[in-house]
């Protein structure tokens, strides 16, 4: 990615209410984060291996904390958000949701829509089964990799 594009992206983040922007171009990935903990407009460039290491949670040393976390892990296949955006359960505000708890689905069925940068992206299931849980409320912002559904 050339320097002019990076400068434009940094300016976009600085002048808007966007707190974080991640752009992937080819094998390069740029992540710009704006927060009070970091200097404004700090740019972080990472390789895919570094991204994986950063996303892995740190191991806890307290065995007492491990028991409640293990109990909270749901059983079934987890559908995660492939992008940052706004989660919608239906195509239109007045229409029925794509899926409800208990509904049987097949791989490839539409589960929800995530709006990102004014584009509506249909999220399809990779699994066949029934909806056990819906983990996100309609209209709620979601992050990349955030669990959305549990399919059993």
State which H helix or E strand residue 72 sits in.
helix 63-72
Which among 51, 60, 75, 77 is positioned nearest to 144, based on CA atoms?
51
The boundaries of every CATH 2.40.50.100 domain in the chain are 75-151
Between 36 and 145, residue with greater pLDDT: 145
Residue 115: what pLDDT? 93
**Mean pLDDT for the stretch of residues 105-116:** 94
pLDDT tens digit string along 119-137? 999 999 999 999 999 999 9
Q: Residue 9: its pLDDT value, please?
A: 80
Q: Cα separations (Å) of 14 from 5, 8, 26, 106, 124?
A: 14, 10, 25, 43, 34
pLDDT tens string 19-52: 888 888 877 788 888 765 444 455 555 555 555 4
Neighbours of 24 (CB within 10 A): 11
Confidence (pLDDT) at 6: 76
Q: Would you state the structure tokens that stand for residue 97, as one six-digit string?
A: 């949701």
CA 84 – CA 136 distance, rounded (Å): 13
Q: Please determine, for residue 53, whether its predicted confidence score (pLDDT) is greater than 70.
A: no
Cα–Cα distance for residue pair 39/37, rounded to 1 Å: 7
Q: What does CATH list as the number for 75-151? A: 2.40.50.100
């Amino acid at each position: 990615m050339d320097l002019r594009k990076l400068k434009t992206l940094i300016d976009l983040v600085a002048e808007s209410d966007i707190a974080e922007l991640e752009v992937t171009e080819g094998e390069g990935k740029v992540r710009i984060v704006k927060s009070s903990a970091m200097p404004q407009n700090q740019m972080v460039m990472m390789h895919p291996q570094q991204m994986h290491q950063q996303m892995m949670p740190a191991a806890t040393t307290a065995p007492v904390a491990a028991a409640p976390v293990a109990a909270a892990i749901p059983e079934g296949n987890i559908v995660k958000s492939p992008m940052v955006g706004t989660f919608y359960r239906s195509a239109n505000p007045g229409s029925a949701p794509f899926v409800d708890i208990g509904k049987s689905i097949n791989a490839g069925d539409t589960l929800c829509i995530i709006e990102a940068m004014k584009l509506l992206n249909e999220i399809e299931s990779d699994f066949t089964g029934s909806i056990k849980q819906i983990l996100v409320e309609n209209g709620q912002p979601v992050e990349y990799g955030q669990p959305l559904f549990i399919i059993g």
